[in-house]
Amino acid sequence: MLHEEKQNAWRRGWVASQNYALPRRRGPWRKGGGGDRNRVSGQSLDFNDHRPYVQGDDMRLVNWRVYAATGQMVLKTFEEEVSPCADILIDGSQSMFYVEEKAIRSIEMIGWIVGSCQRQGLRPNLMVMKNHGVENVEFFSEEQCPNIFNGVACSSIDLSHIPWRRNSLRVFLSDLLYPGDPLEWLRPLAKGAGLAWLYCPYDESESNPEWSDDMEMEDVESGNKRRISLSSDLLKRYRLAYERHTEEAESTCTRLGVFFNRVNSQLPWSKVLPSLGEDGAQWVN
């Protein structure tokens, strides 16, 4: 893929973040005197709401004026001030970039996620997962994009050593084409997360291939080769296996409270954007 094509893809994603924002409507955002307000009650000076007193509540918060007038103990609640942050993890494996359409879609997604976080003041921490490690990208720009996303051979996945920040908005972009139990990989993503998103780009050539002859398959990550005698039965079994793998990942995400979203690389970017959130991406005025 050409340098310019990668830059253009990044630019498309970045521009799209002006209109569509990363969904972030729930989650205990990280405290610390930030400029953003959380939905849960907090200790700021801004009045939020009243609620009935329950045993154990701080007596200092009882609205005595209401008690004097009505005889009911009502508590005043104040909005909590939070300082939200986002941990963005990009799967840098070869499988993300070896198909051109998928690579373009992945870079568009990265541009959109990073742009969206920056526009919402989420202090993004961008990390690229490489084989047995993670690389922090301190300053991310359009020019850097082509050099970062070249793809590195990555035969396994381990999110346990990723330096996630507590209560952060976590976004993980990966095709999930790894062997093993998705629960084991994804548990660290959900643990301690304020809100977690998993965007999974995929290509039709992987999910629904049209192989027509005997072939020698070479794994893009490990370089392992395997000869297969193609038959309609084999194709059918492969498609079923792919479907099960995806369903397993999705059900694991549901179980862990991670929002899962598959992104088709064949569809135009403009059509993909509205479906990126839980109920569609947020519209930014």
Instruction: Give the footprint of another protein on this chain (CB under 8 A).
Output: 93-95, 98, 175, 177-179, 206, 211-222, 224, 226-229, 234, 237-238, 241-242, 245
The tokens of 134 are what?
A: 């993670």
CA dihedral 113→119→125→129, nearest 10 degrees, is 10
Give least dist CB 163 to another protein, A: 27
User: Which is nearer to another protein, 215 or 267 (by Cβ)?
Assistant: 215
Give least dist CB 177 to another protein, A: 5
User: Which is nearer to another protein, 22 or 103 (by Cβ)?
Assistant: 103
Give least dist CB 209 to another protein, A: 8
Spatial neighbors of 125 by CB under 8 A, at least 6 apart, are 85, 86, 87, 88, 136, 165, 168
Give least dist CB 170 to another protein, A: 24
What span, in angstroms and rounded, lies between the C-alpha atoms of 69 and 56?
A: 23
Residue 266: count of CB within 10 angstroms of its CB:
12
User: Which is nearer to another protein, 36 or 219 (by Cβ)?
Assistant: 219
Give least dist CB 42 to another protein, A: 45
| Contact of 254 with 278, CB cutoff 8 Å | no
User: Which is nearer to another protein, 19 or 208 (by Cβ)?
Assistant: 208
| Contact of 51 with 134, CB cutoff 8 Å | no
Angle at 144 between CA 138 and CA 148, to 5 degrees: 85
